[in-house]
A and B are shown apart, each in its own frame.
Chain A
Amino acid sequence: MSEAFRAWTLADTAERVRAGDVSAEEVARAAIDRAEAAQPALNAFIHLEAEAALAQARAVDAKRARGEDPGPLAGAPLAHKDMYYRQGMLSTAGSAIRRDFRPTTTATVLSRLDAAGALDLGGLNMSEFAVGPTGHNAHWGDCHNPWNTAHAPGGSSSGSGAAVAAGVLTGALGSDTGGSIRIPSGMSGVVGLKPTQTRVSRSGILPLSFSFDCVGPLTRTVRDTARILGAIAGHDPADPTSAKRAVPDYEGGLEAPVGALKLGVPTSYYYDDLDPAVDGALTAAQAAFADLGVAARPVEVPGHDEMNLIWPIALSAEAATIHRDWLRTRAADYQPQVRRRIEVGLYQPSTRYIEVISLRERYTRAFVEGALGEVDALIVPTMPIPAPRLEEIGLGADARMVELVMRISAMTRPISFLGLPALSVPCGFTAAGLPMAFQLIGRPFAEATLLRLGHAYQTATAWWRRLPELS
């Protein structure tokens, strides 16, 4: 695989393109080579749009040649979970049903990335219709973990995590409804941010759940995540649910001292029944923060078992509403485990759904005023276990599937229910070389604080510098 520019972060790449040290077209060609070389091992792409990316790169170079600033993401090779809409371009949602779907509109976040100078190399592998935390996909082939291709990359933004971790791309958008950015970030060893529920526009993306869907980036560094978030956050008239709050200078705030910040360490739920390697990695991460002068204190997190059970009621009710026609007419075109998780929403009373959605306010207030009342963020594992082998979790729609999904996503689902921001940061490797990660969870719209803490951690540690070897 081409090593040219592979170790460059997004910020490295954009600054060198802006400075004229390298052209965006050179960067694009190297990234396309990497994508093609890694595809047999990772299956990270559903479709590679090389010509479109090269055209974007030439436009970036032309802009610079005219003396204009090509933007903070100039020439950065990105690609996105294959559920973002770009007019006229394939957007399969990892499904058979949308195998040939070409939208007539473009997602607001893609337009914003274009305006910032980013390149879009195509559609990345994902769990069918963004349902499932493992990265299996019977329609387009399973995506593979770049650290060991026998292992799951995590889902549902499987290709986003795998391609960024492998150094094929400098960043990617995923989507997170119950952990679908954070889980692949954790399993594949990259940074992933689920923003506050209303921070980023969702206009022009395939919906799964109106109440819980979030758009966010996956990158190798926290700085790169801050840079992408700065480009995509902010109100969008096309998504009336998007917040009208001002967007802070996320990247500009990264270097602010963290010594006055406080972390909360939950006394229950998140640290129960962890894999010993994950437990050790979290202990070491807490020690690294202590060395940075960040104080920690224990906090109570009540209600998580309940949230973990009631969240799927609202998720499945909304997903089933969206999918009802296809569930009736094209049931055989879904993978069984995906159909099951959506279909369950057809069989609940509407009062239950409204009760659960109405309960969010109560749970979120209790959590923020309680667990986050005297600290700036919580530190918890992203995953209780390292990435399992794909063959261990070759899923059918049986009880074991339900149990596995619950375990893999137990650390992420409650935070989706609460609508809070969460940043997943890699924090080490198992003896077998598989990544582990922690999440920082903050108050609503506290992305800047989470990014500041994550950046301080990455500045003090070197896990993010590792790249997997791929043939």
Chain B
Amino acid sequence: MAEITADFVRQMARTWHGIELDPAEAEGIARMLQPMEAAAESASAHLDFDSEPADFTRLLDELAGEE
């Protein structure tokens, strides 16, 4: 996939949120997003079709030890 760029961040800010970012701020945000996006893309490959967020709450009870 293409890398997230400062221009792309500025376009999203303008289009979705009505925020006008200066180029330096957009560049900083793009640099933050790049490794996060790469890690998420890799990790999401392991997501099961039937997964949903509420599974986590149920899991806490399931994995609780005896106290």
Contact surface of A with B, Cβ cutoff 8 Å: 196-198, 211, 241, 243, 245, 248, 305-306, 309-310, 312-313, 324, 327-328, 331, 340, 343-344, 346-348, 352, 354-362, 364-365, 368-369, 397-399, 402, 419, 442-449
Given A245-B64, A328-B19, A398-B28, the answer on whether A364 and B53 have CB atoms closer than 8 Å is: no
Asked if A340 contacts B63 (CB within 8 A), the reply is no
Residues of B within 8 A of A198 (CB): 57, 60
Interface string of B22-43 (1 = CB under 8 A from A): 0001001101110111111011
Other than the known A313-B40, A355-B44, A444-B64, what 17 A-B pairs have Cβ atoms closer than 8 Å?
Answer: A245-B61, A312-B36, A328-B18, A331-B19, A340-B25, A340-B29, A346-B17, A346-B19, A348-B33, A352-B37, A358-B52, A359-B51, A362-B47, A362-B48, A399-B28, A402-B31, A443-B63
Out of B39, B61, B67, name the residue touching A309 (CB < 8 Å): B39
Q: Which residues of B contact A248 (CB under 8 A)?
A: 67
Residue on A with the closest CB to B27? Answer: A399
* Contact yes or no, B29 A444, CB < 8 A: no
B59 close to A (CB within 8 Å): yes
A250 to chain B, nearest CB (A): 9
Asked if residues B25 and A309 are in contact (CB atoms below 8 Å), the reply is no
B59 touches A344 (CB 8 A): no
Q: If A327-B17, A327-B19, A359-B43 touch, does A309 touch B60 (CB 8 Å cutoff)?
A: no
Instruction: Tell me which of B4, B19, B43 has the highest count of chain A C-beta atoms within 10 A of its own C-beta.
Output: B43
CB distance from A59 to the nearest CB of B (A): 34
On B, residues with C-beta under 8 Å from A are 4, 9, 12-13, 16-19, 25, 28-29, 31-33, 35-40, 42-44, 46-48, 51-53, 55-57, 59-61, 63-65, 67
Set of chain A residues within 8 Å of B17, measured between Cβ atoms: 324, 327-328, 346
Minimum C-beta distance from B23 to chain A (A): 14
Q: Are B28 and A309 in contact (CB under 8 A)?
A: no
**Which residues on B sit within 8 Å (CB–CB) of A399?**
28, 31
A309 contact set on B, CB distance < 8 A = 35-36, 38-40
Q: Which residues of A contact B57 (CB under 8 A)?
A: 198, 241
B67 x A365 contact (CB < 8 A): no
**Cβ contact of A352, chosen from B16, B29, B40, cutoff 8 A:** B40
- Taking a contact as CB atoms under 8 Å apart, the answer to whether B65 and A362 are in contact is no
User: Once the chains are docked, how many angstroms separate the CA of A346 from the CA of B18?
Assistant: 11
Is B33 a contact of A306 with CB atoms below 8 Å? no
Tell me whether A445 and B29 are in contact (CB under 8 A). no
| Known A306-B43, A344-B32, A362-B47: A368·B63 in contact at CB below 8 Å | yes
Q: How many angstroms between the C-alpha atoms of A358 and B53 in the bound complex?
A: 4
Q: Is A397 touching B25 in the complex (CB atoms < 8 A)?
A: yes
- Report the Cα distance A248→B67, complex, angstroms: 7
B13–A444 touching, CB < 8 Å: no
A343→B21 CA distance, assembly (Å)? 11
CA separation between A348 and B13, bound complex, in Å?
A: 11
How many angstroms between the C-alpha atoms of A348 and B67 in the bound complex? 40
Please give the distance in Å from B50's CB to the nearest CB on chain A: 10
Question: B56 to A445, Cβ gap below 8 A?
Answer: no
Cross-chain contact A364 with B56 (CB below 8 angstroms): yes
- Residue contacts A-B, CB under 8 angstroms, 16 given: A211-B53, A306-B39, A313-B40, A340-B28, A346-B19, A348-B37, A354-B53, A355-B47, A356-B43, A359-B43, A359-B51, A361-B56, A443-B65, A444-B59, A445-B64, A449-B67
B58 smallest CB distance to A (angstroms) = 8
On whether the beta carbons of B29 and A344 are closer than 8 Å, the reply is: yes
B51: nearest chain-A partner, CB-CB: A358
Task: Give every chain A residue within 8 A of B13 (Cβ-Cβ).
Answer: 346-347
Interchain nearest-CB distance for B45 vs A (Å): 10
A355 to B48 CA separation, bound complex (whole angstroms) = 10
Contact B43 A310, beta carbon cutoff 8 Å: yes
Complex Cα gap A369–B64 (Å): 11
| Bound-state Cα–Cα, A449 to B4, Å | 45
**Cβ B64 vs Cβ A443 within 8 A:** yes
Residues of A within 8 A of B44 (CB): 352, 355-356, 359
Query: Is there contact, CB below 8 Å, between B59 and A445?
Result: no
| Contact A358–B64 (Cβ < 8 Å) | no
Q: Which residue of A lies closest to B21 (CB)?
A: A343
User: When the two chains form their complex, are residues A356 and B40 in contact, meaning their CB atoms are under 8 A apart?
Assistant: yes
**Closest-CB distance, A303 to chain B (whole angstroms):** 8
Q: Known contacts A306-B43, A358-B52: does B65 contact A347 (CB below 8 Å)?
A: no
Cα(A205)–Cα(B28), bound, Å: 30
Which residues of A lie under 8 Å from residue B12 when comparing CB positions? 346-347
CA separation between A243 and B31, bound complex, in Å? Answer: 38
Which residue of chain A has the shortest Cβ distance to B52 in the bound complex? A358
B25 and A419 form a contact (CB under 8 A): no
Residues of chain A within 8 A (CB-CB) of B29 are 340, 343-344, 347
C-alpha spacing A361/B9, complex, angstroms: 30
